[in-house]
Chain A
Amino acid sequence: MNQRKLTPPRSGERGQSRTFYMLLALVAAGGIAWLIAASGGGSQSTAEPLPEIPIDVEADPSAGLATGPADAPVTIMEFADYSCPACARFASFTGRLIRQNYVADAGPVQWIHYDYVLGTFPNSIAASIAARCAGDQGLYWQMHDLLLARQTRWATDRDPNGRFREIADDLALDGGEFGRCLSEQRHLDRVMAVRKYGDQMGVSSTPTIFLNGRRLEPTEFDYTAIEGLIQEAVTEAESAPEGDSEAVGESEPGS
């Protein structure tokens, strides 16, 4: 008996293939239209000139925003510009986890945030002021986290204050008071004092991190490395004789 393998039936294949290419074209057209529509949102900033730092502003280490016990064995000073993407990446993961695991609940770390304005981004000063205005209502860190998490929404926006008001609404802040604080630029002098202090400390890029006074290398900016340094510093502080612990943390910033 001869057996012959039959080839699969080919009827309808051409129609199937036509449907396939039509669907492909549909997906491609939809995708392109969507990418174009998405690019229309958001507006680029006109980049107003930054105000000059007033001559009479003094560098002030206490102008930073501190969280955690003042007598903690470890002090981390973070100089960050609210508009800088690297700062957003650092703050939204590493910074957040360290604050959560080593600062909260009287942990061994005091974290001091210095809102250092680089001068290369148009909305950094406004963002620093917005964070401090939220701080007046007791929600500095919540505003800090949201500003950095939503950085791309306001960093080049023509009306950053409008964006900040949206965030303030999300945080249920007193909108009237917050708006007045923004328009009066209430904390500009403190922001400028931070800038001067940063310059004095040799800061020229952000983020710049100091741990117990030692400037960290950018390679040490990940969570595991900083966690290791914290644990080392805590062990050192525990084994040091009484009284030596006051040597750490050169500043007593207000909040």
Chain B
Amino acid sequence: MAAALVALAGLFMSVYLLLYALGAYNELVCGAGGSCDYVQASEYARFLGLPVSGWGVAWYAAVFVTAMLSVQGRFADAKWPGRALLILAAGGLAFSFYLTAIEAFVLRAFCRWCVASAILTVLIFLCALPWGDLLSRRRAPETLEGGSVP
């Protein structure tokens, strides 16, 4: 559930950055001392010919849809939505690490929106981890004992 909420927030953020990249907004709200313009104008702001924010929109949308599917009753017993979410989250986390490394070591400037997106990606990854499975495995014997009937 939390993954869907975080993904929705990230989706709006990416749409904002994409609209800026496409010229719909004249100005990127960045706060004093932010390096958003510099980072957004660099050649690393595009990936495979598309603005990175465009990839962000696609990724957050995919995470949102997958996370929503995983909370639907009809998929309650299915394992694939959780696994798909974990794979998506791991991919997003790796890409986010790459972008943050570019900011830190190549551009030597941080765009606040990019940092915020990296934080959201880490949160999504944490939400996608199978904590529930791990906990239920640990509690399994108690559940069985409590559920025994003569």
Contacts and interface: CB of A to CB of B under 8 A. Distances in A.
Nearest to B42: A93
Given A1-B150, A27-B5, A93-B107, A42 B25 contact: yes
A6 B145 CA distance: 10
Contacts of B38: 92, 149
A35 B16 CA distance: 6
A92 B111 CA distance: 14
Contacts of B37: 92, 149-153
Interface in A1-57: 1-6, 17, 20, 23-24, 27-28, 30-32, 34-35, 38-39, 41-43
Interface residues of A, number: 38
Contacts of A1: 148, 150
B147 A34 contact: no
Interface string A68-108: 00000000000000000100110011100000000000000
A189 interface: no
A39 B9 CA distance: 18
B12 A23 contact: no
Contacts of A28: 8
B26 A31 contact: no
Interface in B119-150: 143-144, 146-150
B12 A153 contact: no
Given A1-B150, A24-B5, A152 B16 contact: no
Nearest to A153: B27
B149 A4 contact: yes
Interface in B8-24: 8-9, 11-12, 15-16, 19-20, 23-24
Contact of A153 (B26, B71, B147): B26
A101 to B, nearest CB: 13
Contacts of A150: 37
Interface in B56-94: 71
Interface of B: 1, 4-5, 8-9, 11-12, 15-16, 19-20, 23-29, 37-38, 41-45, 71, 107, 143-144, 146-150
Interface of A: 1-6, 17, 20, 23-24, 27-28, 30-32, 34-35, 38-39, 41-43, 85, 88-89, 92-94, 148-153, 155-157, 222
18 contacts: A2-B149, A4-B149, A5-B144, A6-B146, A20-B4, A20-B5, A23-B5, A24-B5, A31-B12, A32-B12, A42-B26, A85-B23, A93-B44, A149-B41, A151-B37, A151-B41, A157-B26, A222-B43
Given A5-B147, A24-B8, A41-B26, 5 more contacts: A27-B8, A35-B15, A89-B41, A92-B37, A93-B42
